[in-house]
Structure 1
């Protein structure tokens, strides 16, 4: 497919038909309505038959898992995600075959080609700008909290390690965000779309390598974004080869230039752009608001709890004082009260939310500062344990409560624990490796 395809080879037209169907299925043009409050149901309604087909094909053909997990809690690489990916590939292949049988004589589809490139271009622009603007304000990856800093490095999974690596350095996160924002802005303006597509290949290639190298569960989506970027660059391959390899003159691109003979049709370009900005604006506003609220909550202190790391000086369970021992994984050794009512303790307790060797909880003191409720999640109605709380000194907390059938009595001593990583050190001169 050339920049302004008038004819192409048989393999080229087959490839176009496959690509057209595949990108329509994967990027779902109706997804632009998802950010509009009145119409957010529309893209999901269209997805229902494809979801049903995905489950059907998994049962009859893929057998990825007996029961597909459709809701990954932030993971895009679920068993359902892979089954859906295979379903889209099969549908695109079969659709291209049927299309070829039904229309064997056509050698090109200039109008469909134009609109497909518009869909891919605007989708990449929206995704790049959305993720980029969050990074520019350092809101996507957060600085490691105290519970994370207290976790031994060897206990982390690579995905969490990479997330903290980026979140630690605001300048690096902002730098990567600016690159993604540049992709979005360049793709949005048709005269710079090729430059945006070239930059997108570099940006998304880096994202894909991070996802695959650190086992970040966005492999499917990021791979498709990279493929889409390459698709846009491929449309301009003749001009690129002439300029960069053959050192010969090349003509201006006509890929996104559509000639309109009727006056009212000229307004479609303005309508198209306005529609994209309108729908994209809703989605971006919701996303930005969510991450902004999250960032503000990360500095919220719940009085009278002083955030910090506390040593469990005394641990009494059902009347028995359990001495501290590194060999005892059930005895609590330290408790961290972080900001925004989040906390963790160093012990194995499956009744809490276990992550990387620590048990996580949400805490909420009452208005008098005499009671402290611990929940698995802040959204839970019932408390997992309710403590009567005393704070005889600024650096000491006494908790006495009932957890299930067990009574617990704890004396916590606040530690003056300093994590060097919080200093965000930078040195122009380093006389030795540190």
Structure 2
């Protein structure tokens, strides 16, 4: 086997070479997670000189982990790992085994996997990674959503499902903490991350590289227990005389347990504190002024209703956050605009998003009816809005039913 939790005095040539490659590749990859931009000069050279890439590419994917830069990093690490493993095999050909280095490497991999499983798990538990369906989503056509946007809406619809998905990741991370449960943690990590990877793959979510490598790391940890796992589950054998390396005495076990407890409490405490702070701000704090979906019942430009440009009339306004609104026209074009509500002055500052040229409209808000009047650029406008209730949308009103005589699939 490539990895084992047993101490083997003599490793085969295949075991030594494969270990050297995997050790080098995954060490480089995990280090690059925190040092990605530092490789920029070398990656730029590889992209232009080897792959003849003429367009500009950046180390900052703005949330995407599947950039050209990221794939070139993998190419670099793969080549470096192969060449270095070959040279290492020549220089260190007399060594019989790497038990101690393997142990340290597997501990390092466990720490990395535990950290990210807890990190991603807690943000799902607090329903933050894929947050609840927004007002802007409620007025968006299904066909206008990207595959990733569809996945985000699917996950964001149910807090319970988000909690369940996050709990699965946190559980996998916690099981990896202890020797007795490490095997179960490795199995859980592989299963959970396979599902995440397939979701990223099928919904074009740009975290495919990272989720795939987390799954591979879980698989490496599982391979270290392959003798027991496959022996018991597939071969139905009783595995005896299996001593995990290194063998620890009671004092060492106690010290390690205390260190693990402190680190887990600190790590979980950090993730819970930061996640709850975001949760409180997003779900508990008072909503911004005019929060909700507003249907445009009257849209006048100048003295007449703008019949000549009917498709450009506003159809809906969705407000989720302060200083911003999503406006949908009758031609189904939906865009974000600056929309700053001042309930003291009864005004709305409006304009193209991130534009410095903004207009001020007078606001009247009475009994779920809002009117806006003033000038937008050179046009005089009069707009009347009526607030839609959340349950006017089927996705909010349907609810949960234990008994369904017929499926409601719309």
- Any unmatched runs of 5+ in structure 2? none
Distance 1:277 1:91 in 2: 34
1:63-110 deviations in whole A, cap 9, x for unaligned?
456211322221111222222222222222222122112212223211
3-state DSSP class of the match of 1:106?
coil
Is 1:302 the counterpart of 2:288? The answer is yes
Distance 1:236 1:392 in 2: 66
Distance 1:364 1:85 in 2: 45
Distance 1:274 1:94 in 2: 40
Equivalent runs, 1:21-420 vs 2, <5 Å: 21-28=24-31, 43-44=34-35, 47=36, 49-63=38-52, 66-251=55-240, 254-255=243-244, 257-259=245-247, 269=256, 273=260, 276-277=263-264, 280=267, 284=271, 287-288=274-275, 291-296=278-283, 300-303=286-289, 305=290, 307-311=292-296, 313-316=298-301, 322-323=306-307, 328=311, 330-347=312-329, 357-366=333-342, 368-374=344-350, 383-391=356-364, 393-394=366-367, 395-403=369-377, 406-407=378-379, 409-416=381-388, 418-420=392-394
Alignment CA distance shift 1:249-1:225 (3 Å): same
Counterpart contact for 1:300–1:339, Cα < 8 Å: no
Alignment CA distance shift 1:363-1:141 (3 Å): same
3-state DSSP class of the match of 1:127?
helix
Alignment CA distance shift 1:424-1:77 (3 Å): farther
Distance 1:282 1:357 in 2: 44
What is the RMSD of the two structures over their aligned residues, measured on CA atoms? 3.2
Q: Report the counterpart of residue 2 of structure 1 in structure 2.
A: 4
Distance 1:283 1:163 in 2: 25
For normalisation by structure 1, the TM-score amounts to 0.82
Distance 1:210 1:253 in 2: 38
Alignment CA distance shift 1:281-1:416 (3 Å): closer
Q: CA deviation at 1:16?
A: 0.7
Alignment CA distance shift 1:169-1:266 (3 Å): closer
- Any unmatched runs of 5+ in structure 1? 32-42, 350-355
Number of residues paired by the alignment?
Answer: 402
Counterpart contact for 1:301–1:341, Cα < 8 Å: no
1:171-229 deviations in whole A, cap 9, x for unaligned?
21111121111101100122100110011111011001100011111101000011111
Is 1:13 the counterpart of 2:1? The answer is no
For normalisation by structure 2, the TM-score amounts to 0.86
